[in-house]
Amino acid sequence: MSKPKIAIFDFACCEGCQLQIVNLEEELLDLLGGADVVEWREAMSEKCDEYDIAIIEGSITRLEDEERLKLIRSRAKILIALGACATIGGINKLKNNFDDLDEVKKCVYGKDANKPHLATQPTKAVDEVVQVDAYVHGCPIDRKEFTYIMRCLLMGKEPEIPEYPVCVECKAKGNPCLWEYGQVCLGPIIRAGCGARCPSNGFRCFGCRGYIDNPNVDAAKDVIDKFGLNIDDLKTKMVLFGSRQEPTIHG
C-alpha cells in the first residue's frame, strides 16, 4: 500500500498553525513516516496536484480563494480545517462586524486600499465554502490534538473531538473559577480540547476553539447579572473569535 499523500495550503492567516506542525520535532518524522507531504509552502518548494488529504489553514476572504478552495476540495479525499481561521473564520471575521468593507480596507491599508490584490469580501470559515471532514480547532492549534487527529485519519477512524466546554478541563485541573476573580471567561460556551490552556494560566478563555454545538447564551446573561457586570462586558469578550458566528447576543 502506498502512503497517503498530504498537501497543506494556506489562505488568510498568520501561518501560526503551520508553525505548530513544523515544531512537532520528532513527531513530525512519525507523521512523515506514515504519509508523504507533497505540497507545503512553509516547509518545501515542490508543488503537486495529487493528494489524498488536504489540510487547509486560514479563512476565505476573496472570491478567487473560494475558487481555489473548491478545486482543492475536488481533488482531495479528506479535507481538514486547521486552526481557528479555517474552522470558524477566526480573528479575520472581526471585519464582518462592519457593514462597509471599503471603509475597513481604508482603515487597514490607507491609500493602497484600492489595489486589486486587496479586493475583499466578508470572511468565511472553510466550511462555509466547501465540506470539511475534520476540524483541528484552536488559535493556534494544539500539537498533541493535531497528531491524534492525523493518526485517527490515517487509520480510517473518526477522531473524538470534545463536544463539551472548556470548564470540564478547567475543573479537572482543579483551577478556581476566574469569574469569581472578576474575569469574564467564555469557558462554559467554548469547545474544550486545549486542556483549558488559558484559565490554567490565570487568563480567561477568549473562545479560540469556537462555540460548543449547543451553547446556552441565556445562561451567560444570568451569570453576567449575578456578578454585577454589564452585558457589554460579555459582548466585547465574545467578539474576538465569535464575530458574526452564531450565537450572537441580542439586546
Partner 1 sequence: MSVKKIAKKDFVEFVETLIRKERVFGVQAKGDRFDFAPLESAQDLRLDYDVTLQPPKKFFQPPAEVLMTFEVGGGYQSQYDDEPFVLLGVHPYDMVAINQMDELFSQDNYDTHYMTRRNNATIVACDVAKPSENVFASSMGTAVVKSGYDVLLTDIGDSYVCEAATEKGEKLMAAAKKAVPADDAALKSREAVWAKNKKGLNRHELKCDPAYLPKLLAKAYKHPVWEERAKTCFSCGSCNQVCPTCYCFNVQDDVNWDMKTGKRERAWDGCLLDGFTKVAGEHEFRKQRADRFRHRIYRKGMYVPEKIGGQIACVGCGRCVAACLPDIANPVAVYNRLIDDLGIG
Give the up-direction half-sphere exposure of residue 248: CA atoms within 13 A in the CB hemisphere: 8
> Which amino acid is residue 227, in one-letter code?
F
Scan residues 54-83 and list those touching ligand SF4 (CB under 6 A). Answer: 57, 83
Of 85 and 130, CB closest to ligand SF4: 85
Considering the complex, what minimum distance in angstroms separates the CB of residue 79 from partner 1?
Answer: 22
Q: From the CB of 224, what's the least distance to ligand SF4, in Å?
A: 12
| Least Å from the CB of residue 154 to ligand SF4 | 22
Kindly state the cell numbers that stand for 44: 518545501
Residue of 24, 101, 212, 229 that binds partner 1 (CB under 8 A) = 212
- DSSP conformational letter for 48: -
Q: Is 167 near ligand SF4 (CB under 6 A)? A: yes
Q: d(Cα 66, Cα 59) in Å, to the nearest integer?
A: 10
Dihedral, 13, 19, 24, 30 alpha carbons, nearest 10: 70
Site for partner 1 in 128-147 (CB under 8 A): 147
Q: Is 215 in the site for ligand SF4 (CB under 6 A)?
A: no
CB of 101 to ligand SF4, least distance (A): 20
Contacts of 136 (CB under 8 A, 6+ apart): 17, 80, 81, 82, 83, 87, 145, 146, 149
Using CA atoms, how far apart are residues 128 and 124, in angstroms rounded to an integer? Answer: 6
Identified binder of ligand SF4 from the candidate list 21, 178, 189, 238, rule CB under 6 A: 178
Report the phi/psi class of residue 131: left, alpha or beta, with left for phi > 0 and alpha for psi in -120 to 50.
beta
Kindly tell me which residue out of 49, 103, 112, 218 binds partner 1, with binding defined by CB under 8 A.
218
Query: Among ligand SF4, partner 1, none, what does residue 151 contact (CB within 5–8 Å per kind)?
Result: partner 1
Task: By CB under 6 A, name the binding residues for ligand SF4.
Answer: 13-17, 57, 83-85, 90-91, 138-140, 166-167, 170-171, 175, 177-179, 185, 187-188, 190, 194, 196-199, 205-209
